[in-house]
Amino acid sequence: MSRLPIDHPEVHQQFMQGGYSVQLGSQNPFGRIPVDQTIKETVNRDTQTAGGTKGFSLKQAAVERYYLTSEYHSNYLKQLRRMVGCGMSHLSHPDLQMPRITRDEADVQSIVKLLEDDWTNPFDPMKMSDVLSHPLGPLPWALANGDGTLRKTNKAVLARELEKQVLPAETIPGPSATIIDGMSLVQKMKGNDQTFSQRAASALTQILHEGARSQRIDVVFDVYQEDSIKNAERANRGCTTGIQFRNIAPGHLIQQWRKFLSSSANKANLIRFLVAEWKTPKLRERLNDKQLYVASEKSCLHITKDQWAEVASLQSNQEEADTRMILHAAHAAEEGYSAVVVTADDTDVLLLCLAFSDDISCPLFQNCGTKNRVRYLDITKLRQALGDCVCNAVIGMYAYTGCDTLSAFAGRGKLRDLKLIMRSEHFQEVFRKLGQSRELSMDLFKKLQAFTCKLYTASTTTEDINTAHHQLFCAQCGELESSQLPPCESSATSVCPKPSRAWLGQK
């Protein structure tokens, strides 16, 4: 093809004039077909015999003579059909018939009337802003993936950035209390080819190891409700599959531990079994002088070597262990412990601790290291380094810009969010107020729109999200994906989270 202008200039000229197809009939302009298909429909069709193009003879010489003269055969047949009037059709394409033309013109006029009188013309530059004030698809692409799931962002980068503000703690004041995310601990354990009774004993061993330096150990479990705001997230994690165990027997051998934990119902039954096992005298003996608090469902048990009892002050209807651990931290501080260590390498827990550390009357630490490299983050010193205003705002900012139950903004990471509120006292006040009331005021919503505009264009002075949507679209001449635009106002209302500081008092 690169030598076509040199070797076959006439063919090249024909191609340049658009000769890529052939119209067989003069009455049917819609009937153009590719050049190679034209040969099949003309010459090759006319050279067919009853046995195919080569089935009429087994002699090679006869077949060769046939093909050498096939072009002439085809031409003779074409002329013969023209002479006798066979195979000639003068019917035009259905789209060229007057009834179809009339119907098509009526459809066009209906669309024109809809755009001009009943709706907004999307092709009118003056009205484009009205069009862009609505989602450009069945879902707001700035907040949703193509399959309808929430957009996610890397939350861990926020935790790593916050950790840079202070050095790891070298010592933990005593006596201390350690609070453990129970299900996180269970998920890290290997349980294949062990009985449930052995698994309960192993879990208690791991708990005592995690709290070896503390006199009090709190184990807080999630609550797995049938109707939960976290059902969508658990479905994404595969927590609704797997074979369900209605009854857990102590001697039952676990063959596939991970598959067992893939079911939320199994997790709920396992938690009840673990708590029942830890209450038995045999396992209580292993506590020695430790104080063990176990929170499951709405109740909390205080277990010692000698006895166990329910703790009324730690009863709670909170579903998430992340938030319930704050309640236990406050309780431990009130009981006179000199420090509280939260064992959970989780960004959600870090931000909750940071937001509520001012309500806890003793130093608060987070064990956020790995098995072989433990480090303790001093939450109290981190709050002092960041300042109360930033810490009171960071939990609202974190929820608004994407968490397990709220979508993140496409292409907008957590570091940008953090830097924006650290620079602006105005936005610190906005996110401090977010969640104080169950009703979102119009004034607060307008301020959240201004924050969202800054996320997409740092230098913008626009505070209306629909205007920012239109300006960014025009600035890029429309050459960008819908997900790169901020959500419109109607979509942004779905981002606003539920109240945040009410978590500590929810019981």
What token pair was written down for 37? Answer: 């298909």
CA–CA separation, 405 and 497 (whole Å): 9
In 327-411, DSSP assigns E strands to 339-343, 364-367, 376-378
pLDDT(503) > 50: no
Per-residue pLDDT, 87: 59
The amino acid at 360: I
Averaged pLDDT score across all residues of the chain: 84
pLDDT tier for residue 177 given thresholds of 50, 70 and 90: very high
pLDDT(124) > 80: no
Handedness of CA 387, 220, 399, 375 (dihedral sign): positive
pLDDT(49) > 70: no
- Say which residue, 196 or 24, is predicted with more confidence: 196
| Residues 357 and 497 placed together within one structural domain of the fold | no
CA–CA separation, 470 and 477 (whole Å): 10
| Residues 165 and 64 placed together within one structural domain of the fold | no
Task: Look up the domain containing 333 and give its range.
Answer: 156-386
- CATH number of the domain residue 258 falls in: 3.40.50
CA–CA separation, 383 and 273 (whole Å): 39
CA–CA separation, 440 and 459 (whole Å): 27
pLDDT(126) > 80: no
CA–CA separation, 412 and 257 (whole Å): 37
- Say which residue, 185 or 229, is predicted with more confidence: 185
When divided into structural domains, the chain yields a total of 4
pLDDT(86) > 90: no
377 domain-assigned: yes
| Residues 320 and 332 placed together within one structural domain of the fold | yes
pLDDT(501) > 80: no
Handedness of CA 188, 191, 197, 201 (dihedral sign): negative
Instruction: List alpha helices for 285-378, DSSP H.
Output: 321-334, 347-356
CA–CA separation, 319 and 295 (whole Å): 11
**For 8-12, which contacts have Cβ atoms below 8 Å and span 24 or more sequence positions?**
none
442 domain-assigned: yes
| Residues 263 and 362 placed together within one structural domain of the fold | yes
Instruction: List alpha helices for 194-295, DSSP H.
Output: 196-210, 231-236, 257-260, 264-278, 281-284
| Residues 164 and 303 placed together within one structural domain of the fold | yes
- pLDDT tens digits, 432-467: 998 888 888 899 999 999 999 999 998 999 999 989
**Domain boundary pick from 58, 84, 110:** 84
- Say which residue, 246 or 59, is predicted with more confidence: 59
